[in-house]
Amino acid sequence: VADERRTALRGKQVVLVDDVHTSGATANACTRALLKAGAASVTILCWARVLPETGD
């Protein structure tokens, strides 16, 4: 997170919107960065997620 954005982010509740949740790696990385930059919490909303194959 850019230094000039940290002040505005500090203590805020952030909603992170993603179109597709596949492995969760991107959402986790974004969440860690936002919390490290001072966000109070991060809620993730996604339109769809990829389910693992069941092996049927």
Is residue 9 a contact partner of residue 40, using CB atoms and an 8 Å limit?
Answer: no
Q: How far is CA 54 from the centre of its chain?
A: 27
- Which pLDDT value is given to residue 56? 63
- Which pLDDT value is given to residue 39? 97
- Which pLDDT value is given to residue 50? 86
Question: DSSP character for 31?
Answer: H
Q: Is 40 left (phi over 0), alpha (psi -120 to 50) or beta?
A: alpha
Considering the entire predicted model, what is its pTM? 0.81
Q: What is the pLDDT along the chain (56 residues), one digit of tens a residue?
A: 998 899 999 999 999 999 998 888 999 999 999 999 999 999 999 999 888 888 76
Q: Where are the domains of the chain?
A: 3-49
